[in-house]
Amino acid sequence: MSLRDLLRPPPHRGPLIAAGGVALAIGVSLTVLRLQATLPIGVDAALLLAPGALLFWLGAQAPNEQGEPPAYQSVLLATGLPLVYGGLLVALGGELDAIPPNWVLITASLAVAALAIWPALERNSAISLLLSALLVGFTLAVLAPDAARRPLLLAYAIALTLASLALREPARRHAEVLIDAAGLATAALAIQEYSSGVPTPDLSAFWELVLLAAGLGLVAFGALDRSPGPAYVGVLNLLLFIASASHGTALYVWPLFLLTGGVIMLAAGLRPRRPLPPEPDPYRAGEAPLAARAERSAEARPKPR
């Protein structure tokens, strides 16, 4: 038996392997955090990279079931990729208890994003596509100057939404996770410059409008598609909008606008209904229109063999 065959999880043991992978990842993370003062930085990086690479390979090699990734495959990929990312940050940054330099964040993010694309395409893994999209968005946020960060994130969210519309028919799950990533990109608009990383309490009216529109759109998408992910992200956007728009003592503009819009929509939905007209009486024998009689006679004819 080759090493590749050995590292390909048999489907009936997949859940057991995934559970072991999660326990291993948690144990490795605790080991690195507790022994960071005594272990060399290279050992810390290896302790993260080696299990992460193993779990990622097991997940990437797992066969699909009727064209869909089984649950244990998603668990393995979602466990292995963060370990690889953390190992790269430690290996390139040389520290475990400090935020790495920007070039380290960019390099590690792009490397893991490119790595996640493989199972996203070859194994139809939506969780891998989500991780890749989030890492690309994080890279854009780190690269962009403070003045251009929000416009760039907004453009990225729009691009993800358009890509989601293109994938809606051929890959519905992939389209959904791209909507999730777009919603998280808009939620990041409420974050101040990367150096502080503190939610900003007061956005301009334009960015508040973006948060409100994104939140309402995501909640509507989740309700119509019965998809909880976009709905949760939409609620996050709406909470950030409330946190930003709650400053002030007057009802102008947002409270008045939302109160008026809400009352109008409720009144339109609850307005008295007009009674439907009564159904027409059925045709009597011989009174059916000529077209209806011709259609029935055509259906009654025997079909040629």
Are 273 and 220 contacting, i.e. CB atoms less than 8 angstroms apart?
no
φ, ψ for residue 191, nearest 5 deg: -95, 135
d(Cα 241, Cα 190) in Å, to the nearest integer?
Answer: 8
Q: How far apart are CA 242 and CA 260, in angstroms?
A: 17
Q: Checking phi first, is residue 94 left (phi over 0); if not, alpha (psi -120 to 50) or beta? A: left
21, 55 contact by CB (below 8 A): yes
Q: What is the pLDDT of residue 157?
A: 95
Enumerate residues 6+ apart whose C-beta is below 8 A from 178.
129, 130, 133, 160, 161, 163, 164, 167
| pLDDT higher than 60, residue 2 | no
Say if pTM beats, i.e. exceeds, 0.85.
no
Residue with tokens 């998603």: 74
What 8-state DSSP symbol labels residue 302?
Answer: P
The whole-angstrom separation of Cα 172 and Cα 170 is 6
Q: Which of 186, 141, 189 is nearest to 160 (CA)?
A: 186
Q: What is the pLDDT of residues 29-65, one digit of tens each?
A: 999 999 888 889 999 999 999 999 999 998 888 777 8
Query: What is the rounded end-to-end Cα distance, in angstroms, of the chain?
Result: 57
- pLDDT of amino acid 203: 77
When the pLDDT of each residue in the chain is averaged and rounded to a whole number, the result is 84
What separation in angstroms does the CA of 188 have from each of 40, 245, 283? 35, 16, 64
* Residue showing tokens 């004819």: 301
**Tell me, what's the pLDDT at 267?**
87
Q: Which one-letter amino acid corresponds to residue 84?
A: V
d(CA 241, CA 202): 9
Closest CA to 25 of 45, 55, 46, 70: 55
Report pLDDT for 302: 58
Q: Which pLDDT does position 146 carry in this prediction? A: 80
Q: How far is CA 151 from CA 22, 64, 193, 233, 296, in A?
A: 38, 39, 13, 20, 63
Residue 195 has pLDDT above 50, yes or no: no
Mean pLDDT lowest among 45-49, 64-68, 88-92: 64-68
Residue-wise pLDDT for 145-189, tens only, equals 888 889 999 999 999 999 999 988 888 889 999 999 999 999 998
Amino acid sitting at position 81: L
Q: Check residue 155 and give its pLDDT.
A: 95
CB 77 within 8 A of CB 59: yes
Average pLDDT of the segment spanning 64-86:
89
Residue 194: band (very low, low, confident or very high) from pLDDT cuts 50, 70, 90: very low
